[in-house]
Structure 1
């Protein structure tokens, strides 16, 4: 069942987010006017996402030869009690990692004219 959770914003605003049934945790969340009141701010949930992404990318940047680009994709689901959860449609969470290397052009001989 889908419900609407209200996540406070650090600047004082409110973000209304459609969330799946709040099965995480055992405590009852406050409901006001048909909304679930989130336990923490949306900014806090975004901090959680940033921390996960940093933890995933940091060791990949140390690969030698160093990749020119690193992309990490993972699904995130907002939960009124837990904040941001890594989502999964299967038993295990899914991460997609893409590393790219750009071929370097061969060194030119002294006096060689470029095309």
Structure 2
């Protein structure tokens, strides 16, 4: 069943996020499709906690002896009413995809 979590957005209306699984500690008093919880922090505050991780990827890969011309880091982000924004997982591992690209000089 799909439930909704209300996530505050600074300077804007809250965003509703689908939550297929309801975390322990949240009582399922709403009907499917209704708001069951409100996130404890704004989207901006939650995403700010991801910044050091993203910067670590860029810093480390840019520091290579032959630094890439492009760095792409993809990761799944999951919104949880209790934990805020977390990195989504696949099986027992975190979900990261890193692509680096070098352009050959003409």
- Is the TM value for this pair above 0.5? yes
* Structure 2 counterparts to residues 9-48 of structure 1, below 5 A: 9-23=9-23, 27-28=25-26, 34-35=34-35, 36-48=37-49
> Gaps spanning 5+ residues in structure 1: where?
106-115
Aligned length: 102
Could you state the TM-score of these two structures normalised by the residue count of structure 2? 0.79
Could you state the TM-score of these two structures normalised by the residue count of structure 1? 0.74
Q: Corresponding residue for 2:75?
A: 74
Contact 1:38/1:80, CA 8 A, preserved across alignment? yes
Contact 1:73/1:95, CA 8 A, preserved across alignment? yes
Cα 1:41–1:66, aligned 2, differ >3 Å: closer, same or farther?
same
Cα 1:89–1:2, aligned 2, differ >3 Å: closer, same or farther?
farther
Structure 1 stretches of 4+ with a deviation exceeding 4 A read: 26-29
Larger radius of gyration: 1
RMSD, aligned α-carbons? 2.4
